[in-house]
Structure 1
């Protein structure tokens, strides 16, 4: 049975923090491949176009053969739910043990996701600690245990582990903000991504 990991998100834009998280997951749990899944129409967010975000994702990940960009969300009508993504990927990659890479903030809300209790048991969860809130690893672990206990109270068993990533205080929102005020984003994103953003004048307005 192969081991694969899903890394979903808006990636608006993808930055070194995302890449560090994916690389850590690749080796910490010995997954064969990281499947990047850019979201088409994320709820409650205004983003750059799917085409721009997809191209930046491809540019940033193209040099790593263990990284694959999936278009599984590209033609999905209506609201995109995580459980549908996993079900669809299971059809493409049968006989797979699945891992789901998610940030701590998102993991906290997992019990409230659409069919979240069902999804929680369908894969192992790899949690990226919060990098910008000042939490320690111990605090991140405590938050994860609280989610685990909340689900256990409803007879839901979840398997999770924290990713041991270098703490890099970079986020997509920070990058967009720097571009807006005409500050450099060199070394915060992969160079092809920086050049793409400049060429298409993204995030400057």
Structure 2
């Protein structure tokens, strides 16, 4: 039985923080693969075209033998929900143990996720600390406390969750920061892989010269 990780997100754009989170999860949880799943129609968000975001993810993970782009044929007529992703992947990868890689910002919203009664117990949750969620000093105790609060909320819904906090540097890079830099014509070099910086500039995805 293989251990598989799922890293879903808008990836608008993908950046070094995403890659570090995936690599930490891959190592810490002894995963066989990390499956990257960009949302085609992310709920509650407006993003650049899926084709651009998908291309950037594929370019960013191309040199990692254990990072794979999602093989799912996403139905573009509906919004993406995590439970749909998991059910579809379970068909494609039977006899697998599933791990969901997630930042603390998204983990806080888990008690409101669609069909969480099915989703939560089906995975082990690998939670990456986000600096904006964990005020200075940022340490594992603060991260564990935040996660325990979510665990308690889920318990009130009769949900038990398996989880662990990823031990990784707190990287203050976000997709929103990168988009802001692009709009302000500030350099994003070293915030994203060079291939992604060139792609964004070539296609003028977020405006400005970068």
TM over 0.5: yes
Give the counterpart of 2:164 among 157, 161, 166.
Answer: 161
State the partner residue of 1:79: 79
In the alignment, structure 1 residue 174 sits paired with structure 2 residue 142: no
Q: Aligned partners of 1:55 and 1:23: how far apart in 2?
A: 20
C-alpha RMSD of the superposition: 1.3
Contact 1:15/1:189 (8 A) holds in 2:
yes
Q: Aligned partners of 2:73 and 2:173: how far apart in 1?
A: 26
In the alignment, structure 1 residue 96 sits paired with structure 2 residue 96: yes
Q: Aligned partners of 2:96 and 2:201: how far apart in 1?
A: 39
Contact 2:6/2:37 (8 A) holds in 1:
yes
Matching of residues 66-145 of structure 1 within 5 Å: 66-72=66-72, 74-135=74-135, 136=138, 137-145=140-148
Q: Deviations over 1:144-168 (max 9, x none)?
A: 1111122223332100011111111
Partner of 1:148, secondary structure, is helix
Partner of 1:58, secondary structure, is helix
Partner of 2:86, secondary structure, is helix
Count of residues in correspondence between the two structures: 205
Q: Deviations over 1:48-107 (max 9, x none)?
A: 110000001011000001000114253353122111110100000000000000111111
TM-score of the pair, normalised by structure 2: 0.93
Of residues 45-54 and 127-136 in structure 1, the stretch that sits farther from structure 2 once superposed is 127-136
Contact 1:60/1:190 (8 A) holds in 2:
yes
Q: Aligned partners of 1:50 and 1:34: how far apart in 2?
A: 20
Matching of residues 6-45 of structure 1 within 5 Å: 6-45=6-45
Partner of 1:59, secondary structure, is helix
Q: Aligned partners of 1:109 and 1:133: how far apart in 2?
A: 13
Q: Aligned partners of 2:3 and 2:102: how far apart in 1?
A: 17
TM-score of the pair, normalised by structure 1: 0.96
